[in-house]
Homo-oligomer: A and B are copies of this chain.
């Protein structure tokens, strides 16, 4: 029997979930919930309904897992604890510092409702977190490195767009090759986020805007750019659309550690992602964990979980026997 999926919120991530569900034969998208007028929202899956979020309770018995595709700043802290009362839910909450608080809220509501809520699913947090955990458990003496990119940072792109005279902009976060090499060297250097990354900006100006002033404003912007090696390119709107309309991302998680009685042997564990579409990849992770949520719920489990709490076999459509025979 297939897992009946609901999508709550139909932006880039929601559309990514819709595409990912289609790639999994044991999954079925039954409904998309939106705050907009449902008639104004057209989805790709012919067999699924579009509904207003106000009607979500009517779907309690027709959805096995609800994938909540809101933003971490304001949506998810409200939505995930709210909807886990009625559904098994997955979210991609990515405000690292607030995860403990979010976990506690979702856990209490999930247990009260007898449902499973898996939070902070995606690649960071998500697959990168898993790789940090596995690598630290294997090599207790060592050093972790996380690099992001090359990829589009939505927050940094937005910050540029808010500058007067800027019509449109895309910002790429780029790992510094020399820093990556240093992390891989076994010398375990200290590397700040700034030393590990550069920032490249593609900016479309409003007519008559002062390019020099915009560039200065970007490069001196506190927190976002001031501490980084930042490059600004001014391009036409056509060029931005033609060459920078994708949402690629990726990155690297490394752990460099030692073993041996005298710590004489060095080891490097490296995990990396190169993604054409950040939201579609994140969505693909969400859907794999939706499969796990459904299975855990069928076992009678409830409460909040993270990727750390889920045995890998729960993510796969294959049986335990098939997995042992084909992938071990």
- Give every chain B residue within 8 A of A140 (Cβ-Cβ): 23-24, 317
Cβ-closest 4 pairs across A and B: A265-B276, A137-B315, A259-B280, A265-B277
A96 to B16, CA, bound (A): 36
Q: By the criterion of a CB under 8 Å from any partner CB, how many residues of chain A are at the interface?
A: 70
A170 to B133, CA, bound (A): 34
- Closest-by-CB residue of B relative to A268 is B274
A272, B270: Cβ atoms under 8 Å? yes
A272 to B18, CA, bound (A): 31
Mark out the residues of chain A between 267 and 310 whose CB falls within 8 Å of any chain B CB in the assembled complex.
267-277, 280-281, 283-285, 288, 291, 306-310
Interface of A is mostly: helix
A273, B280: Cβ atoms under 8 Å? no
- Give every chain B residue within 8 A of A208 (Cβ-Cβ): none
5 new A-B pairs (CB below 8 Å) besides A137-B288, A309-B320, A311-B311? A133-B316, A268-B272, A308-B311, A308-B323, A309-B313
Mark out the residues of chain A between 89 and 131 whose CB falls within 8 Å of any chain B CB in the assembled complex.
96, 99-100, 103, 120, 125, 127, 129-131
Copies in the complex: 2
Shortest Cβ distance from residue A207 to the other chain B in the assembled complex, whole angstroms:
34
> If the complex has contacts A19-B260, A134-B127, A288-B138, are A273 and B268 also in contact, measured as CB distance less than 8 A?
yes
A276, B266: Cβ atoms under 8 Å? yes
Binding site for B on A (CB under 8 A): 16, 18-20, 22-24, 44, 96, 99-100, 103, 120, 125, 127, 129-134, 136-141, 184, 259-261, 264-277, 280-281, 283-285, 288, 291, 306-313, 315-317, 320-321, 323-325, 327-328
B316, A136: Cβ atoms under 8 Å? yes
A133 to B283, CA, bound (A): 17
- Give every chain B residue within 8 A of A137 (Cβ-Cβ): 288, 291, 312, 315-317
